[in-house]
């Protein structure tokens, strides 16, 4: 009975080794881009314009407004905070 288990184990090991050898041979083949599987879903990177739109919408949801000072603008909740930020940046 012990011999049959040993023989069965050896046959399983030899099958595994044969399968390992086949997979190893596949790894050594040169890379071919045509046979490489294409992703089913991929993320499209947003453009800079889309990113700015998203950030602007996010700020509006937070209750901030856009205040313009010449060619510069500041996002703030009210005029008092805007004046403080512009003084700090040296625009006022």
56-67 pLDDT tens trace: 999 999 999 999
Reference 65, options 46, 78, 47, 52; nearest CA is 78
Percent of the chain whose pLDDT exceeds 90: 40
For the chain, the maximum distance between any two Cα atoms, rounded to a whole number of angstroms, is: 95
Q: Is residue 15 part of a domain?
A: yes
Q: Is residue 23 part of a domain?
A: yes
3-state secondary structure of 68: strand
Domain that holds residue 21: 2-36+53-89
Q: Is residue 22 part of a domain?
A: yes
Domain total of the chain: 1
Q: Is residue 66 part of a domain?
A: yes
Q: Is residue 73 part of a domain?
A: yes
Q: Is residue 43 part of a domain?
A: no
B/e letters for 9-47, b = 16+ CB within 10 Å, e = fewer, are eeeeeeeeeeeeeeeeeeeeeeeeeeeeeeeeeeeeeee
DSSP bridge pairs for 69: 72
pTM more than 0.75:
no
């Amino acid at each position: 009975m012990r011999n049959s288990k040993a023989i069965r184990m050896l046959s399983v090991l030899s099958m595994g080794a044969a399968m390992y050898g086949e997979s190893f041979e596949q790894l050594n083949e040169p890379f071919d881009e045509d046979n490489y599987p294409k992703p089913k879903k991929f993320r499209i990177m947003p453009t800079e314009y889309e990113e700015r739109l998203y950030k602007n919408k996010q700020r509006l949801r937070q209750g901030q407004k856009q205040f313009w000072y010449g060619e510069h603008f500041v996002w703030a909740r009210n005029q008092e905070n805007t004046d403080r930020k512009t003084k700090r940046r040296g625009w006022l």
